[in-house]
Every structure is written in structure tokens, then in C-alpha cells.
Amino acid sequence: MSTGIKTLDGWCEFSDRTGKESIYDYLNLGDIVSEDVVDNFMDMLPPRAMSHGYLQVGEAYDHVYDIDGELRALYMTFAKCDGQWRYYGNCFEWETVDKSWR
């Protein structure tokens, strides 16, 4: 887990410096992210799941089988923990456990 807060400007600087434009290259599981990062993804598409302090981006990242053998979608997930937004990876709907194994 990195130190500091990951911001939208930081993502742009990272992209310019490395040539890597994917948010997945910038964020690590558990990173604290600024409100502008969450807002950016909230504004892209209607959210898949959203409540106070919880956001899943509206487009599926991938699909994987769950423990029961059911194929389920994964969604980029942000949730508040101790008052700060954190990146939880790609999770099943309404969950905060990364299942993408990327």
C-alpha cells in the first residue's frame, strides 16, 4: 500500500511520466483516494452500486466464477473507511473484496 492520497491530478502526472493511462496502473489495493477520483468515476456512467460512502463503477471490469460456480461481474469499488475513500479493487456487487487477481 502506498503512502499519501491518490488524486486525479496525480493520475494525470503519473500518466504523463510513465505513458501508462490506465487507472489500474496508478492505484493499488487499499490506496486512499481523493474525492475527485471518486467523483470522476461516479460521473462517467450511472453507478452499479452506490450508497453513502460506497461506489461501484457502472461498467463491469470482468466476470469471474464465485464459490458456487455462478459467473458474476466485477466492478471497480471505492468505499469510505475511517472517513477516507479507499480503492478496494474489482469486487462483486456490494462487496469490498477484490476478485480480479490481476
Residue 31 belongs to a domain: yes
In a domain, 97, yes or no: no
pLDDT by residue for the chain (102 residues), tens only, comes to 456 899 999 999 999 999 999 999 999 999 999 999 999 999 988 899 999 999 999 999 999 999 999 999 999 999 999 999 999 999 999 999 999 865
In a domain, 19, yes or no: yes
DSSP 32: E
Q: How far apart are CA 7 and CA 13, in angstroms?
A: 10
Residue 101 lies in a domain: no
Report the predicted TM-score, pTM, of the whole model to 2 decimal places. 0.90
Domain membership of residue 77 as a residue range? 5-91
Q: How many domains does the chain have?
A: 1
For 36, phi then psi, to 5°, come to -65, -30
For residue 85, tell me if it sits in a domain. Answer: yes
